[in-house]
Amino acid sequence: MHKAQNADEYIAKQRMALASNSECGATHYNLAVALMGQKKYEEAESHLHEAISCSPNLAEAFVQLGAICLQRGDEEGCLHYNKRSIKARAGFSPGYANIGYLELQNGNIDEAVKHLRKSIVFNSKNIQAFTTLATAYLMQGLLDEAIEACRQAIEINPDFPISYNNLAVAYLEKGDYDQAIENADKAESLGYPLAEGLKKELDSHRKNV
């Protein structure tokens, strides 16, 4: 209840700020994000377009428009807005990471890897980019590269379970069952649900240990 009250107060403040200065892109953007938190997507979308109109380099606004598209199941729209985000601001790491993720979903692995690597060049702490890159490398069969990307992600956040899951998959592919089991157990201990097939395969090797 208190949180909702705070959100309503915050939204009211942003509306008041816009009443006295309707040309402030940052205020339109802040209001839009708060409205998205309340699932008021249409109004949020309108303010995001206003934000871009006032501040054409506000790359974050394009990413949020992409998020609204994704919420509606429009992956193409999401990709379009993320591509606009990296045009709006050179070296905008989240935009490259999102494009990489979407290209991977579409099966364009090489294109995904290219954008994910760029995302990391522009922000070496982008854990989402490292994680998605590890998945892309696994799909390409580049196991050592996948392991390295997972290790980088774990350096950023040692409690990031999907990285341990990906390590388990990579080590299993390499035939290193001890490492695979160790990383799978770590992923599970952090609350990550292992795929049933992976669990079964690891359990069969566990019995042989």
| CATH (domain of 29) | 1.25.40.10
- Tokens found for residue 25: 């892109």
Domain hosting 54: range is 1-65
pLDDT at 195: 94
Count of Cβ atoms closer than 10 Å to residue 197 Cβ: 8
- Give how far the C-alpha of residue 193 lies from the chain's centroid of Cα atoms, to the nearest Å: 19
Write out residues in the chain with pLDDT < 50, as ranges. 1, 209
**Residue 151 forms part of a structural domain:** no
152 CB-near residues (< 8 Å, 6+ apart):
130
**Residue 45 forms part of a structural domain:** yes
CA atoms within 13 A on the CB side of 205: 18
Domain count along the chain: 1
- Give how far the C-alpha of residue 51 lies from the chain's centroid of Cα atoms, to the nearest Å: 22
Tokens 């341990």 identify what position? 164
**Residue 35 forms part of a structural domain:** yes
- Tokens found for residue 72: 């509606």
Do 32 and 5 meet the contact criterion of CB atoms below 8 Å apart? no
Which amino acid appears at position 129 of this protein?
A
**Residue 1 forms part of a structural domain:** yes
**Residue 140 forms part of a structural domain:** no
**Residue 36 forms part of a structural domain:** yes
Backbone angles phi, psi at 42, to 5 degrees: -65, -45
**Residue 123 forms part of a structural domain:** no
Question: Which of helix, strand or coil describes residue 33?
Answer: helix
**Residue 202 forms part of a structural domain:** no
pLDDT at 207: 63
Which amino acid appears at position 163 of this protein?
S
